[in-house]
Protein backbone atom coordinates (compact mmCIF):
# COMPACT_ATOMS: atom_id res chain seq x y z
CA UNK A 1 0.00 0.00 0.00
CA UNK A 2 1.37 3.40 -0.92
CA UNK A 3 0.78 6.35 1.35
CA UNK A 4 2.04 9.91 0.97
CA UNK A 5 3.64 8.81 -2.27
CA UNK A 6 6.81 7.44 -0.64
CA UNK A 7 5.58 5.27 2.24
CA UNK A 8 5.36 1.57 1.40
CA UNK A 9 4.28 -0.76 4.16
CA UNK A 10 5.47 -4.36 3.95
CA UNK A 11 2.80 -7.02 3.50
CA UNK A 12 1.49 -8.81 6.59
CA UNK A 13 3.05 -12.05 5.33
CA UNK A 14 6.43 -10.63 6.38
CA UNK A 15 5.34 -10.93 10.00
CA UNK A 16 3.60 -14.26 9.62
CA UNK A 17 5.59 -16.42 7.26
CA UNK A 18 9.04 -17.37 8.47
CA UNK A 19 11.11 -19.59 6.21
CA UNK A 20 12.72 -22.67 7.72
CA UNK A 21 16.43 -22.55 8.58
CA UNK A 22 16.55 -26.27 9.27
CA UNK A 23 14.38 -29.10 7.88
CA UNK A 24 11.69 -28.70 5.22
CA UNK A 25 9.28 -25.78 5.39
CA UNK A 26 6.15 -27.92 5.47
CA UNK A 27 7.30 -30.38 8.16
CA UNK A 28 6.40 -30.30 11.86
CA UNK A 29 10.06 -29.72 12.74
CA UNK A 30 10.75 -26.83 10.37
CA UNK A 31 13.14 -24.70 12.47
CA UNK A 32 12.70 -21.01 11.70
CA UNK A 33 13.51 -17.69 13.37
CA UNK A 34 10.57 -18.05 15.79
CA UNK A 35 11.77 -21.50 16.85
CA UNK A 36 15.27 -20.05 17.32
CA UNK A 37 13.89 -17.34 19.63
CA UNK A 38 12.10 -20.04 21.63
CA UNK A 39 15.41 -21.90 21.73
CA UNK A 40 16.99 -18.77 23.24
CA UNK A 41 14.14 -18.81 25.74
CA UNK A 42 15.53 -22.14 26.90
CA UNK A 43 19.27 -21.46 26.60
CA UNK A 44 19.53 -17.99 28.17
CA UNK A 45 17.75 -18.88 31.47
CA UNK A 46 19.79 -22.09 31.62
CA UNK A 47 23.04 -20.17 31.22
CA UNK A 48 22.06 -17.51 33.77
CA UNK A 49 20.92 -20.03 36.39
CA UNK A 50 23.82 -22.42 35.85
CA UNK A 51 26.34 -19.57 36.18
CA UNK A 52 24.36 -18.27 39.15
CA UNK A 53 24.50 -21.67 40.86
CA UNK A 54 28.32 -21.59 40.72
CA UNK A 55 28.54 -18.54 42.99
CA UNK A 56 29.02 -19.00 46.69
CA UNK A 57 29.20 -16.89 49.80
CA UNK A 58 26.69 -15.07 51.90
CA UNK A 59 26.43 -12.05 49.62
CA UNK A 60 25.24 -12.92 46.07
CA UNK A 61 27.25 -11.52 43.17
CA UNK A 62 27.05 -11.51 39.36
CA UNK A 63 24.77 -14.12 37.84
CA UNK A 64 23.75 -15.30 41.33
CA UNK A 65 22.29 -11.85 41.94
CA UNK A 66 20.41 -11.99 38.63
CA UNK A 67 19.02 -15.49 39.15
CA UNK A 68 18.08 -14.84 42.79
CA UNK A 69 16.51 -11.54 41.77
CA UNK A 70 14.35 -13.28 39.17
CA UNK A 71 13.31 -16.03 41.59
CA UNK A 72 12.56 -13.53 44.35
CA UNK A 73 10.59 -11.33 41.97
CA UNK A 74 8.48 -14.21 40.67
CA UNK A 75 7.95 -15.58 44.18
CA UNK A 76 7.15 -12.28 45.89
CA UNK A 77 5.30 -10.44 43.13
CA UNK A 78 3.60 -13.29 41.29
CA UNK A 79 3.41 -16.57 43.23
CA UNK A 80 2.65 -15.10 46.65
CA UNK A 81 -0.25 -12.83 45.58
CA UNK A 82 -1.50 -15.31 42.96
CA UNK A 83 -1.32 -18.61 44.82
CA UNK A 84 -0.36 -17.80 48.40
CA UNK A 85 0.06 -20.71 50.79
CA UNK A 86 1.40 -23.88 49.11
CA UNK A 87 2.93 -22.05 46.14
CA UNK A 88 6.40 -23.66 46.30
CA UNK A 89 5.76 -26.58 43.88
CA UNK A 90 4.59 -24.16 41.18
CA UNK A 91 7.57 -21.79 41.38
CA UNK A 92 9.58 -23.61 38.65
CA UNK A 93 6.63 -23.39 36.26
CA UNK A 94 6.04 -19.70 37.00
CA UNK A 95 9.73 -18.82 36.66
CA UNK A 96 9.80 -20.75 33.37
CA UNK A 97 6.70 -18.93 32.11
CA UNK A 98 8.12 -15.55 33.03
CA UNK A 99 11.55 -16.05 31.47
CA UNK A 100 10.36 -17.90 28.38
CA UNK A 101 7.81 -15.19 27.65
CA UNK A 102 10.09 -12.29 28.48
CA UNK A 103 12.83 -13.56 26.16
CA UNK A 104 10.23 -14.30 23.50
CA UNK A 105 9.02 -10.68 23.83
CA UNK A 106 12.24 -8.71 24.24
CA UNK A 107 13.66 -9.89 20.92
CA UNK A 108 11.22 -7.37 19.48
CA UNK A 109 13.68 -4.56 20.24
CA UNK A 110 16.97 -6.44 19.82
CA UNK A 111 18.73 -5.67 16.53
CA UNK A 112 18.91 -8.54 14.02
CA UNK A 113 15.96 -10.27 15.73
CA UNK A 114 13.41 -7.43 15.78
CA UNK A 115 10.58 -9.91 16.06
CA UNK A 116 8.84 -11.06 19.23
CA UNK A 117 8.27 -14.81 19.12
CA UNK A 118 5.05 -14.24 21.03
CA UNK A 119 3.67 -12.14 18.17
CA UNK A 120 3.04 -15.58 16.69
CA UNK A 121 0.13 -17.52 18.13
CA UNK A 122 2.02 -20.81 18.61
CA UNK A 123 4.11 -19.90 21.65
CA UNK A 124 1.32 -18.17 23.65
CA UNK A 125 -1.07 -21.01 22.80
CA UNK A 126 1.35 -23.69 24.05
CA UNK A 127 1.97 -21.75 27.26
CA UNK A 128 -1.74 -21.04 27.81
CA UNK A 129 -2.58 -24.72 27.30
CA UNK A 130 0.12 -25.68 29.83
CA UNK A 131 -1.38 -23.22 32.33
CA UNK A 132 -4.87 -24.55 31.56
CA UNK A 133 -3.83 -28.17 32.00
CA UNK A 134 -1.95 -27.27 35.16
CA UNK A 135 -4.79 -25.45 36.92
CA UNK A 136 -7.32 -28.16 36.06
CA UNK A 137 -4.97 -30.92 37.26
CA UNK A 138 -4.21 -28.95 40.44
CA UNK A 139 -7.92 -28.46 41.05
CA UNK A 140 -8.70 -32.15 40.62
CA UNK A 141 -5.65 -33.31 42.60
CA UNK A 142 -6.42 -31.10 45.59
CA UNK A 143 -10.21 -31.17 45.59
CA UNK A 144 -11.11 -34.32 43.70
CA UNK A 145 -14.01 -34.30 41.22
CA UNK A 146 -15.70 -31.83 43.60
CA UNK A 147 -13.49 -29.19 41.98
CA UNK A 148 -15.74 -29.14 38.92
CA UNK A 149 -18.80 -28.80 41.17
CA UNK A 150 -17.13 -25.90 43.00
CA UNK A 151 -16.38 -24.14 39.72
CA UNK A 152 -19.60 -24.89 37.85
CA UNK A 153 -21.96 -24.49 40.81
CA UNK A 154 -20.49 -21.67 42.88
CA UNK A 155 -21.79 -21.77 46.45
CA UNK A 156 -24.13 -19.00 47.56
CA UNK A 157 -25.81 -18.59 44.16
CA UNK A 158 -29.60 -19.11 44.09
CA UNK A 159 -30.37 -22.48 42.46
CA UNK A 160 -32.44 -20.96 39.68
CA UNK A 161 -29.44 -18.90 38.58
CA UNK A 162 -27.39 -22.05 37.96
CA UNK A 163 -29.21 -22.30 34.65
CA UNK A 164 -27.37 -19.15 33.67
CA UNK A 165 -24.20 -19.29 35.79
CA UNK A 166 -23.13 -22.88 35.11
CA UNK A 167 -22.87 -22.59 31.30
CA UNK A 168 -21.11 -19.24 31.67
CA UNK A 169 -18.62 -20.67 34.19
CA UNK A 170 -18.04 -23.72 32.00
CA UNK A 171 -17.36 -21.57 28.95
CA UNK A 172 -15.24 -18.97 30.71
CA UNK A 173 -13.17 -21.32 32.88
CA UNK A 174 -12.69 -24.40 30.76
CA UNK A 175 -13.07 -23.26 27.17
CA UNK A 176 -12.39 -19.56 26.76
CA UNK A 177 -9.74 -19.10 29.44
CA UNK A 178 -6.78 -20.69 27.57
CA UNK A 179 -7.60 -18.75 24.43
CA UNK A 180 -8.10 -15.42 26.18
CA UNK A 181 -4.88 -16.09 28.07
CA UNK A 182 -2.99 -16.78 24.83
CA UNK A 183 -4.61 -14.08 22.73
CA UNK A 184 -3.92 -11.40 25.36
CA UNK A 185 -0.18 -11.99 25.04
CA UNK A 186 -0.16 -12.64 21.29
CA UNK A 187 -2.29 -9.60 20.39
CA UNK A 188 -0.31 -7.22 22.58
CA UNK A 189 2.98 -8.32 21.11
CA UNK A 190 1.72 -8.32 17.52
CA UNK A 191 0.20 -4.87 17.97
CA UNK A 192 3.47 -3.56 19.45
CA UNK A 193 5.43 -5.09 16.62
CA UNK A 194 3.18 -3.55 13.97
CA UNK A 195 3.48 -0.21 15.75
CA UNK A 196 7.28 -0.37 15.61
CA UNK A 197 7.15 -1.45 11.95
CA UNK A 198 4.87 1.48 11.19
CA UNK A 199 7.21 4.01 12.79
CA UNK A 200 10.27 2.33 11.27
CA UNK A 201 8.77 2.40 7.78
CA UNK A 202 7.70 6.00 8.27
CA UNK A 203 11.24 6.97 9.29
CA UNK A 204 12.81 5.24 6.28
CA UNK A 205 10.28 6.56 3.83
CA UNK A 206 10.36 10.10 5.15
CA UNK A 207 14.16 10.10 5.21
CA UNK A 208 14.24 9.18 1.53
CA UNK A 209 11.65 11.82 0.60
CA UNK A 210 13.42 15.13 1.07
CA UNK A 211 10.25 17.18 0.92
CA UNK A 212 8.91 15.38 3.96
CA UNK A 213 12.09 15.40 6.01
CA UNK A 214 10.52 17.76 8.55
CA UNK A 215 8.08 15.00 9.51
CA UNK A 216 11.15 13.03 10.63
CA UNK A 217 11.25 15.35 13.64
CA UNK A 218 8.11 13.61 14.82
CA UNK A 219 8.58 10.10 13.49
CA UNK A 220 12.09 9.32 14.71
CA UNK A 221 11.50 10.34 18.37
CA UNK A 222 8.24 8.41 18.06
CA UNK A 223 10.15 5.31 16.97
CA UNK A 224 12.61 5.69 19.87
CA UNK A 225 9.80 6.29 22.37
CA UNK A 226 7.78 3.29 21.17
CA UNK A 227 10.89 1.10 21.25
CA UNK A 228 11.35 2.04 24.91
CA UNK A 229 7.64 1.50 25.45
CA UNK A 230 7.87 -1.97 23.93
CA UNK A 231 10.66 -2.89 26.37
CA UNK A 232 8.18 -2.12 29.15
CA UNK A 233 5.42 -3.98 27.32
CA UNK A 234 7.67 -7.06 27.02
CA UNK A 235 8.16 -7.10 30.75
CA UNK A 236 4.57 -6.28 31.61
CA UNK A 237 3.13 -8.94 29.28
CA UNK A 238 5.43 -11.59 30.75
CA UNK A 239 4.31 -10.47 34.21
CA UNK A 240 0.60 -10.41 33.27
CA UNK A 241 0.64 -13.84 31.65
CA UNK A 242 2.51 -15.37 34.59
CA UNK A 243 0.41 -13.77 37.29
CA UNK A 244 -2.78 -14.87 35.50
CA UNK A 245 -1.44 -18.42 35.41
CA UNK A 246 -0.65 -18.10 39.14
CA UNK A 247 -4.15 -16.78 39.86
CA UNK A 248 -5.72 -19.65 37.91
CA UNK A 249 -3.59 -22.19 39.81
CA UNK A 250 -4.33 -20.44 43.11
CA UNK A 251 -8.04 -20.50 42.31
CA UNK A 252 -7.87 -24.23 41.63
CA UNK A 253 -5.79 -24.85 44.76
CA UNK A 254 -8.10 -22.93 47.08
CA UNK A 255 -11.45 -22.84 45.22
CA UNK A 256 -13.36 -21.69 48.31
CA UNK A 257 -11.43 -18.39 48.21
CA UNK B 1 -21.32 -26.07 -8.29
CA UNK B 2 -17.86 -27.40 -9.07
CA UNK B 3 -16.92 -24.03 -10.52
CA UNK B 4 -18.13 -22.27 -7.36
CA UNK B 5 -16.04 -24.59 -5.17
CA UNK B 6 -13.02 -23.96 -7.35
CA UNK B 7 -13.53 -20.21 -6.98
CA UNK B 8 -13.77 -20.50 -3.16
CA UNK B 9 -10.63 -22.65 -3.00
CA UNK B 10 -8.78 -20.25 -5.26
CA UNK B 11 -9.89 -17.30 -3.11
CA UNK B 12 -8.70 -19.07 0.04
CA UNK B 13 -5.37 -19.81 -1.57
CA UNK B 14 -4.92 -16.17 -2.55
CA UNK B 15 -6.02 -14.75 0.83
CA UNK B 16 -3.18 -13.63 3.13
CA UNK B 17 -2.44 -16.05 5.95
CA UNK B 18 -4.33 -15.48 9.17
CA UNK B 19 -1.94 -14.35 11.95
CA UNK B 20 -4.22 -15.81 14.64
CA UNK B 21 -3.91 -19.38 13.35
CA UNK B 22 -0.85 -21.03 14.91
CA UNK B 23 1.48 -23.04 12.69
CA UNK B 24 2.38 -26.56 13.69
CA UNK B 25 6.17 -26.37 13.51
CA UNK B 26 6.23 -23.34 15.84
CA UNK B 27 3.88 -25.13 18.26
CA UNK B 28 6.19 -28.15 18.25
CA UNK B 29 9.37 -26.16 18.91
CA UNK B 30 7.72 -23.88 21.48
CA UNK B 31 6.42 -26.96 23.32
CA UNK B 32 9.79 -28.76 23.17
CA UNK B 33 11.79 -25.79 24.42
CA UNK B 34 9.26 -24.77 27.05
CA UNK B 35 8.90 -28.26 28.52
CA UNK B 36 12.70 -28.60 28.47
CA UNK B 37 13.02 -25.30 30.33
CA UNK B 38 10.34 -26.28 32.85
CA UNK B 39 12.00 -29.64 33.52
CA UNK B 40 15.46 -28.05 33.80
CA UNK B 41 14.06 -25.36 36.07
CA UNK B 42 12.37 -27.91 38.31
CA UNK B 43 15.19 -30.42 38.61
CA UNK B 44 18.46 -28.64 37.80
CA UNK B 45 18.34 -24.85 37.72
CA UNK B 46 16.12 -23.76 40.58
CA UNK B 47 17.08 -26.15 43.44
CA UNK B 48 20.65 -24.82 43.99
CA UNK B 49 19.43 -21.23 43.87
CA UNK B 50 16.60 -21.94 46.33
CA UNK B 51 19.00 -23.92 48.53
CA UNK B 52 21.48 -21.04 48.57
CA UNK B 53 18.69 -18.58 49.40
CA UNK B 54 17.46 -20.89 52.14
CA UNK B 55 20.98 -21.29 53.55
CA UNK B 56 21.49 -17.55 53.52
CA UNK B 57 18.15 -17.03 55.16
CA UNK B 58 18.97 -19.58 57.87
CA UNK B 59 22.47 -18.09 58.33
CA UNK B 60 20.97 -14.66 58.73
CA UNK B 61 18.33 -16.06 61.07
CA UNK B 62 20.91 -17.88 63.20
CA UNK B 63 23.05 -14.73 63.25
CA UNK B 64 20.00 -12.79 64.33
CA UNK B 65 19.25 -15.38 67.01
CA UNK B 66 22.88 -15.22 68.20
CA UNK B 67 22.66 -11.43 68.27
CA UNK B 68 19.42 -11.66 70.26
CA UNK B 69 21.06 -14.12 72.67
CA UNK B 70 24.11 -11.85 72.99
CA UNK B 71 21.82 -8.88 73.61
CA UNK B 72 19.99 -10.84 76.25
CA UNK B 73 23.32 -11.97 77.82
CA UNK B 74 24.50 -8.38 77.70
CA UNK B 75 21.35 -7.27 79.50
CA UNK B 76 21.84 -9.99 82.11
CA UNK B 77 25.53 -9.09 82.53
CA UNK B 78 24.57 -5.45 82.83
CA UNK B 79 22.02 -6.30 85.51
CA UNK B 80 24.60 -8.43 87.35
CA UNK B 81 27.13 -5.64 87.00
CA UNK B 82 24.66 -3.11 88.34
CA UNK B 83 23.77 -5.40 91.25
CA UNK B 84 27.46 -5.93 92.03
CA UNK B 85 28.06 -2.23 91.74
CA UNK B 86 25.15 -1.48 94.07
CA UNK B 87 26.46 -4.06 96.54
CA UNK B 88 29.99 -2.61 96.36
CA UNK B 89 28.58 0.86 96.74
CA UNK B 90 26.60 -0.16 99.80
CA UNK B 91 29.65 -1.96 101.22
CA UNK B 92 31.79 1.12 100.57
CA UNK B 93 29.18 3.29 102.27
CA UNK B 94 29.18 0.96 105.26
CA UNK B 95 33.00 1.01 105.41
CA UNK B 96 32.96 4.77 105.06
CA UNK B 97 30.40 5.13 107.84
CA UNK B 98 32.45 2.81 110.07
CA UNK B 99 35.63 4.70 109.29
CA UNK B 100 33.87 7.97 109.92
CA UNK B 101 32.58 6.70 113.27
CA UNK B 102 36.04 5.38 114.21
CA UNK B 103 37.58 8.68 113.17
CA UNK B 104 35.03 10.61 115.23
CA UNK B 105 35.73 8.37 118.19
CA UNK B 106 39.46 8.77 117.78
CA UNK B 107 39.09 12.50 117.36
CA UNK B 108 37.01 12.71 120.53
CA UNK B 109 39.61 10.64 122.41
CA UNK B 110 42.45 12.79 121.13
CA UNK B 111 40.47 15.90 121.93
CA UNK B 112 39.85 14.69 125.47
CA UNK B 113 43.50 13.73 125.87
CA UNK B 114 44.60 17.10 124.52
CA UNK B 115 42.12 18.90 126.79
CA UNK B 116 43.49 16.98 129.78
CA UNK B 117 47.05 17.75 128.79
CA UNK B 118 46.21 21.41 128.23
CA UNK B 119 44.51 21.60 131.61
CA UNK B 120 47.52 19.95 133.21
CA UNK B 121 49.87 22.33 131.46
CA UNK B 122 47.66 25.23 132.44
CA UNK B 123 47.69 24.09 136.07
CA UNK B 124 51.45 23.67 136.00
CA UNK B 125 51.93 27.07 134.35
CA UNK B 126 49.59 28.68 136.89
CA UNK B 127 51.61 27.12 139.70
CA UNK B 128 54.81 28.42 138.14
CA UNK B 129 53.25 31.87 137.74
CA UNK B 130 52.03 31.85 141.33
CA UNK B 131 55.42 30.79 142.59
CA UNK B 132 57.22 33.40 140.48
CA UNK B 133 54.76 36.01 141.64
CA UNK B 134 55.26 35.07 145.25
CA UNK B 135 59.00 35.16 144.79
CA UNK B 136 58.74 38.51 143.01
CA UNK B 137 56.51 39.92 145.72
CA UNK B 138 58.86 38.67 148.42
CA UNK B 139 61.87 40.24 146.65
CA UNK B 140 59.97 43.43 145.95
CA UNK B 141 58.76 43.68 149.52
CA UNK B 142 62.41 43.88 150.85
CA UNK B 143 63.38 46.48 148.27
CA UNK B 144 60.23 48.53 148.86
CA UNK B 145 60.85 48.42 152.67
CA UNK B 146 64.41 49.63 152.37
CA UNK B 147 63.38 52.31 149.84
CA UNK B 148 60.45 53.40 151.98
CA UNK B 149 62.56 53.50 155.16
CA UNK B 150 65.29 55.37 153.26
CA UNK B 151 62.73 57.84 151.88
CA UNK B 152 61.14 58.25 155.31
CA UNK B 153 64.60 58.87 156.92
CA UNK B 154 65.30 61.58 154.32
CA UNK B 155 61.86 63.15 154.90
CA UNK B 156 62.09 62.96 158.70
CA UNK B 157 65.75 63.74 158.86
CA UNK B 158 66.44 60.98 161.35
CA UNK B 159 67.30 57.33 161.36
CA UNK B 160 64.48 54.89 161.55
CA UNK B 161 64.59 51.37 162.78
CA UNK B 162 63.97 49.23 159.72
CA UNK B 163 62.78 46.34 161.93
CA UNK B 164 60.11 48.51 163.58
CA UNK B 165 58.89 49.94 160.29
CA UNK B 166 58.66 46.58 158.56
CA UNK B 167 55.24 45.70 159.97
CA UNK B 168 53.79 49.07 158.73
CA UNK B 169 55.25 48.53 155.26
CA UNK B 170 53.95 44.95 155.12
CA UNK B 171 50.51 46.20 156.14
CA UNK B 172 50.55 48.78 153.36
CA UNK B 173 51.67 46.27 150.75
CA UNK B 174 49.09 43.74 151.90
CA UNK B 175 46.38 46.36 151.45
CA UNK B 176 46.89 45.99 147.63
Q: Which residue of B has its CA nearest to A37?
A: B30
Query: What average pLDDT is seen over chain A?
Result: 87
pLDDT in tens, A186-209: 999 999 998 888 888 888 877 776
Averaged pLDDT, A139-144: 90
Considering only residues A216 and A243, tell me which one the structure prediction assigns the higher pLDDT.
A243
CA distance A79 to chain B (A): 15
Smallest CA–CA distance, residue B11 to chain A, in Å, is: 16
- Helix, strand, coil percentages (3-state) for chain B, rounded to 5, are 90, 0, 10
Contacts 24+ apart (CB under 8 A), B143-149: B144/B169, B144/B173, B145/B169, B145/B170
Q: Note the pLDDT tens digit of each residue in A38-92.
A: 999 999 999 999 998 887 777 778 888 999 999 999 999 999 999 988 899 999 9
> Is A42 within 8 Å of B36 when comparing Cβ atoms?
yes
ipTM of the complex: 0.90
Check residue A4 and give left, alpha or beta (phi > 0: left; psi -120 to 50: alpha). Answer: left
Residues forming a β-bridge with A8: A2
User: Quick one: pLDDT at residue B146?
Assistant: 83
Supply the angle between the helices A33-54 and B46-156 in degrees, to the nearest 10. Answer: 40
* Burial class of residue A241, CB neighbours in 10 A (0-12, 13-18, 19+): buried
Please state the pTM of the whole predicted model. 0.73
Q: Which residues of B touch A31 (CB under 8 A)?
A: 25, 29
Shortest CA gap A167–chain B (Å): 26
| Chain A, nearest residue to B41 by Cα | A92
Q: Does B28 touch chain A (CB under 8 A)?
A: yes
Under an 8 A CB cutoff, do B46 and A95 touch? yes
- Residue B8 pLDDT: 47
The predicted pLDDT at position B37 comes to: 96
Identify the CA nearest to A121 among candidates B38, B26, B37: B26
Sign of CA dihedral A70, A73, A76, A77: negative
What is the per-residue pLDDT for A146? 86
Which residue from A minimizes the CA distance to B49?
A53
- Which residue in B15, B40, B48, B49 has the most chain A C-beta atoms within 10 A of its own C-beta, making it the best mutation to test that interface? B49
Using a CB-CB cut-off of 8 Å, the residues of chain B touching A45 are 37, 41, 45
Among the ranges A9-18, B2-11, B134-143, which has the highest mean pLDDT value?
Answer: B134-143
Distance from C-alpha of A129 to C-alpha of A257, rounded to nearest angstrom: 24
CB contact under 8 A, B19 and A58: no
Q: Find out whether A121 and B19 touch, Cβ atoms under 8 Å.
A: yes
Check B37 against A126: CB less than 8 A apart: no
Judging contacts by C-beta atoms under 8 Å, the chain B residues touching residue A30 are 25
Q: How far apart are CA A69 and CA A59, in angstroms?
A: 13
In this complex, do A120 and B48 lie within 8 Å of one another by their Cβ atoms? Answer: no
Cβ-Cβ contacts under 8 Å, A186 against chain B: 20
Please give the distance of CA A118 from its chain centroid, rounded to a whole number. Answer: 6
CA distance A91 to chain B (A): 8
Binary contact (A38, B24; C-beta < 8 A): no
Amino acid sequence: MNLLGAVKFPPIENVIEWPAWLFEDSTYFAFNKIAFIHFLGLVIPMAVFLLGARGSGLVPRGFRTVSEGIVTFVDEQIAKPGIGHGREPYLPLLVSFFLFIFIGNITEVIPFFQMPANARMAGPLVLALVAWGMFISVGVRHNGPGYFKEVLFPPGVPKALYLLVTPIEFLSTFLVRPFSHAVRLFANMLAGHILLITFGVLCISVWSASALVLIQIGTFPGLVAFTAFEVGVSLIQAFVFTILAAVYIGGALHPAH
Amino acid sequence: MINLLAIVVAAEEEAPPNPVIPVMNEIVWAAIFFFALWAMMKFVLLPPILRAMEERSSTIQSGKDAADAATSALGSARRDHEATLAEARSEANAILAGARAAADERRAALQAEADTEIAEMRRSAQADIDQARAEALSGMRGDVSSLAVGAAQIVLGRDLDAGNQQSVIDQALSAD
